[in-house]
Amino acid sequence: MKISAFAIFISVVLIIYSIVNYYLFIRIWQSLPEAGMLKKIYLPAFIILASAFFAGRIIERIYMSPFSDIIMWVGAFWLAILLYGFLFVLLIDILRAINYFIPFFPAAVTANPARAKLILLVSGSIVILFIISAGFINALNIRVRTLNLDIHKSAPHLSGLNIVMASDVHLGTINNRRRFSNVIKKINDLHPDIVFFAGDLVDEDIAPVIRHNLGDMFGSIRSKYGVYAITGNHEYIGGVKKACDYMTEHGIHLLRDTAVKIDDSFYVIGREDKDMVRFTGHDRKPLKELLKETDTAYPVIVLNHQPNNPGEAVSAGVDLQLSGHTHNGQMFPFNLFTRKLYEISYGYRKMNTTHFYVSSGVGTWAPPVRVGSSPEIVNIKLNFR
């Protein structure tokens, strides 16, 4: 990514983040009683929490330690608290605005506003902590989504193929060794013929992955034809060469705008992430160019991290395309936005003869929390007819 574009992007993110934090801060400040120690404790505590995520990223790059891990976890949970705290306060302010023009608040609220604010603060905090706790437990509970699909082509040595696909693992400080071991167990329990990681296997910086030696866990994945992966936007954010080299060194077959024929029966095409152009200035190869390396009389499976432009795969005659990236929003209400941004934001769809599946992902980005979205591993049983 060009330095100027990156600087603009970071600046915009920090400005929005600061505005949202300030809005939440000032509304809570106004709800606290004037007497006592609460306001004196609240100011430094809020600054620490609001700074934790970005401070953790910086500290982690300088020197990783249990301290940097704690800061990262605190910062990650703060992002979830910030989201639902902001939405709660915004809802209250909307109701206040309506009440200004059409009074409907009961006398108990209008007679003692300070007491009402404190009650709302306490009750709102309890609701938010419940939502985040439930979302944390939900993020640990990996589901298996099973699909049986027919592809009307023959694969000379196969009548079917048992595929296991996981996307958006986001290996790092948050999605650590314990969490990844659960993912691997789920994969192995499905006895796959082939395993696909559809991008964002690594969460930005590769250093925590190396520190916790997560790469040696790849070797415990059992499948007939091996493990294949593609790049996602997070591999590019953290440094694509280091991430790809690490995966390759630990036995992952990395497909970067390449096609491979497996068992003389079917093709797998792995596309570079579409954000490649932002980070390198070079665009990925068009799908039709990649298909020149294949014989489309055989089944063709495409791995494409971001589910943009499904029509490209349809017009190219692809049989199955697997994607991730969206997390199905990860935390409500972001799933409402992903549905608007992507033609297929989550789940299965068939267009003409092309099957699509967009996974909600198995890991999380930043907050280890899922609300309105569940982590999943996808088991696709292909029948060749």
Domains of the chain: 3-138 (no CATH), 143-384 (3.60.21)
What predicted TM-score, i.e. pTM, was given to this entire model? 0.92
CB 274, CB 306: distance < 8 Å? yes
Q: How far apart are CA 64 and CA 61, in angstroms?
A: 7
Q: How far apart are CA 98 and CA 110, in angstroms?
A: 14
pLDDT 10s digits, 200-248:
999 988 999 999 899 999 999 999 999 999 999 999 998 999 999 999 9
pLDDT 10s digits, 78-137:
999 999 999 999 999 999 999 999 999 998 888 888 899 999 999 999 999 999 999 999
Q: What is the pLDDT of residue 323?
A: 98
CB 229, CB 245: distance < 8 Å? no
- Give, in degrees to the nearest 5, the angle at Cα 303 between 384 and 281: 155
Residue ranges for the chain with pLDDT beneath 50: none
Phi, psi torsion values for 267, nearest 5 degrees: -110, 145
